[in-house]
Structure 1
Amino acid sequence: MWKEMKKKCLHAKMKTAEETAASELYMALVVAPKNPPAKAAGLQSDVVFEEIGRRIREVGSQLVQKVNAIFQWDIMSGELMVAQWTLDLKTGSGEIYRGPSRQSASAVFTLSENDFMELVLGKVKPQRAFLGGKIKVKGSILLSHRLEAILKDYIKL
């Protein structure tokens, strides 16, 4: 009888352990973030931002005087952010860097890699992309007009 009770107790413990493990696995899957940060390699937008950086090193202080703003780009692939760049034309002689703005951004642009490249290559006008919902802007949309004029002058890929 003791053996039988011991066997049932052991069986119950194993069943409980299995249920606990299954429950923990389920919770890990359910609670896991649906959009973990990702870093996509070899994005075309990276080349553009690197070129902007090169040009800022050449004439950044002039741009800071003209623009006096900080712009951040969130480059998306579906619901997943694949790159984030900040163009600081407010402090020092200007700089561009990967990641979120260190200070409050004057404008944050959220758009897909494809839409960004179409803008840069002149295949679509910024106003049309904005009105078509391809670009989302947080902050001062008026400052984006200054940025548009600067990018036309300084991005020649």
Structure 2
Amino acid sequence: MMRNIRTNLIIYKPIKNNISNVYMTYLILQYLSVILIYGVSPIINKYVLAHIEPESFMVIGGFVGLISAIIFSFVRKNNLLFDIANMNKHKHVYLLIFLSSFILSIIVNYNYLGLLNVEPAYRVTSVTSCYPLITAILGYLFLREQVSIKHLAGVVLIIGGVYMLS
């Protein structure tokens, strides 16, 4: 029998993690900031799209992203150099980063902004928020991540919620 580090094999109860309250508070604030930004972003995008085309939005946004990345690379220089050295050992990571960045910055954003330009913001965000379902399925298939009955119930609830919002 293999031992699971996170479980006590005698009584099969989860062992308490040694996560400090400060760190847990930090995680909660980080989650809340992401939720807030993702919630506000479509409203800002919809307003901007009333004044410019999606293509212009993408080009200007890409330029701002490039400047931000350059500044960020100076701030996190040591981590960046370490990661580049590590990536040189695993050359395929370069291709995966390129594909992921291209798919996200060009294909997804173009379609998302196009939808946001012609549909209500709540509908676009609710329907496109189904992407975690794809992530869960692919995580199970390719990364051998666990999927429980609770996860499957969540999938059904998400699909039902999206149907009700649309």
Fold equivalence (TM over 0.5): no
TM-score, normalising length from structure 1? 0.24
More helix by proportion, 1 or 2? 2
More strand by proportion, 1 or 2? 1
Please say which structure displays the higher CA radius of gyration.
1
